[in-house]
Amino acid sequence: MPNTAIVFPGQGSQYVGMGSDWYEADAQARDLFDEANEILGFDLKKICFEGPEGELRQTKNTQPAIFAHSIIVAKAVNNRDAQAMAGHSLGEYTAFVAAGAITFEDGLRVVRLRGELMQQAGEQRKGTMAAIVGLSAADLEGICQEASAAGIVQPANYNSPGQIVVSGEVNGVRKAMEIAKQRGAKLAKELVVSGAFHSPLMESAKDGLKEALERISIRDAEIPVYANVTAEPATDASAIRTLLYRQLTSPVRWEQTIANMVRDGVHSFCELGPGNVLQGLVKRTRSDVQISGIDKFSGMKEAARP
C-alpha cells in the first residue's frame, strides 16, 4: 500500500449488527471485542450486535462501537505499509491508534469518555447541525457570520466540495439554513443529532477531555495522520495531544485533508470500519483516485487490495 491512505469513519456510520460477522469468523476480532467489554465494564459487543438502535445511537455508545469495529478491521488488514492515515472526527482517534501513537486500551477509554462528555454537553446546551449542499465554503462562512446574530453557528464539517455541515445553537443553525436556501443552496437539511458537535457548544466537554488526554501515554505516530484541525500530517506526540483536544470545538477539514493527501502522493484510499460514508466523500472530492473499503469480514480480501 505504498501510495495508499487508510481512512476511518466517524459517528453516523454505526448500524445494529456491526462487527458480528467478524466476531464469528476471526479469533483476533473475538479477543478485541472481549477485551473492549472488559476495559469498559459493560457489554459493548451486545450493543453492536443486537442493539437496540436507540442505545447504539447514544453518543457514549456510538463512539466506542465504531472505534472497536474499525480497529478490528485495521488489525486484520496489513495497514503498516500505508503512506498516510486520517479519520473523520471520532475516526481520528482510530487513526492514531492504528498508527501506533496510542494503545487500543487508552484509545477506547478516551473515546468512551469523549462520547459521554459530548452527550452531556449536548444535553446541557441544546444545539443542532444541518447539512448544506451546493454552496462554496467561502459563501457558507459568510452566511454563518450573518446568521450568528440569531445564535451561535459555524461550519463543523467541510466534507466535500459543496457539502458542508454547520453546527451551533438551534436559532443560529436554522437562520443559516434559511439564508443558504435564499442564496441558492440545493439542500439545507437539519440533522438528527444529540448535540452541536465541532462548535463552541461542546466547550463544557473540553476540560474532561483534556485531563483524559493528559493521563494517557502518546507516542510519535509511525505513520503520518492528517489531522482534522489542520488537514496536515502529524506524527509528533505532543502535537497529537493538542490536535485531539482542539478538534472537539473546531471544524473537520475533510475536503482539504483529502486534497493534501493527494498533493503528498496518495492516489488510493481505503476506508476501514462500518459503512461507506468516507468513500462517498473522497469520490466527490477527487474523482481521479482509487477508492475502496472494508466493513464486513467477507469483503476483506477485495478491500485489502485497493
Active site residues: 89, 198
Q: Are strands 225-226 and 233-234 parallel, antiparallel or unpaired?
A: antiparallel
Pairing outcome for strands 153-160 and 163-169: antiparallel
Residue 80: phi and psi, rounded to 5, are -70, -15
> What cell does 55 get?
442505545
